[in-house]
């Protein structure tokens, strides 16, 4: 087996290329963080005149790992919860009853147009224009047959 050694000029080229690549990467990283550079620019080249001033203190991030203090009040008992549920149910029933009475009173003022609609509906039924009921869905599946998804 014979090994071929890399010549010295080739090694020098590879070394120069890697140094140039490292310098280029360093310049690219430095160009991506222009914060201190912008601050050092003269006012004629930097921010516009109506731009707000930078805050003097850095932003304080919320403490995400701090545990909140213990509750000063106790949660409601089961009896209190049951009582509140009954009150809410009674309130809902009262609201529904009010809606029904409102519909009845508003329906009394509109009885004349509804009576005309019912009369026209009766003539349609007499003429034979009835709606077909939809067919019941077939839930049974034959053995080996693929059902509809």
- Measured CA to CA, the distance from residue 4 to residue 34 in angstroms comes to 48
Parse the chain into domains and list their residue ranges: 10-40, 78-118
Q: Look at residue 27 in the predicted model and tell me its pLDDT.
A: 78
Q: Tell the burial category of 81 from Cβ atoms under 10 Å away from its Cβ (0-12, 13-18, 19+).
A: exposed
Contact 114, 107 (CB under 8 A): yes
Residue 88 C-beta-side C-alpha neighbours within 13 Å: 6
Instruction: State the pTM of this model.
Output: 0.28
Report the Cα 75 to chain-centroid distance in Å: 31
Of 45, 22, 23, 44, whose CA–CA distance to 34 is shortest? 45
Report the C-alpha gap between 40 and 34 in whole angstroms: 10
In the predicted model, what is the mean pLDDT of residues 48-66? 81
pLDDT in tens, 75-130: 899 999 999 999 999 999 999 999 988 888 877 666 655 655 665 555 555 555 55
Task: Kindly tell me if the per-residue pLDDT of 57 is higher than 80.
Answer: yes
Rounded-to-integer distance, Cα 26 and Cα 33, Å: 11
Torsion of CA 36, 40, 44, 47, to 10 degrees: 20
């Amino acid at each position: 087996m014979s090994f071929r050694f890399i010549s010295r000029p080739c090694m020098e080229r590879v070394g120069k290329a890697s140094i140039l690549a490292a310098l280029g990467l360093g310049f690219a990283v430095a160009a991506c963080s222009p914060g201190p550079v912008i601050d050092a620019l003269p006012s004629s080249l930097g921010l516009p005149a109506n731009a707000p001033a930078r805050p003097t203190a850095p932003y304080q991030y919320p403490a995400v790992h701090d545990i909140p203090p213990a509750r000063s009040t106790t949660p409601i008992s089961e009896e209190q919860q049951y009582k509140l549920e009954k009150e809410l149910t009674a309130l809902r029933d009262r609201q529904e009853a009010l809606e029904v009475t409102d519909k009845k009173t508003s329906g009394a003022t509109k009885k004349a147009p509804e009576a005309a609609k019912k009369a026209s509906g009766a003539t349609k039924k007499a003429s034979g224009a009835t709606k077909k009921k939809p067919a019941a869905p077939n839930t049974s599946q034959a053995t080996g047959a693929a059902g509809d998804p």
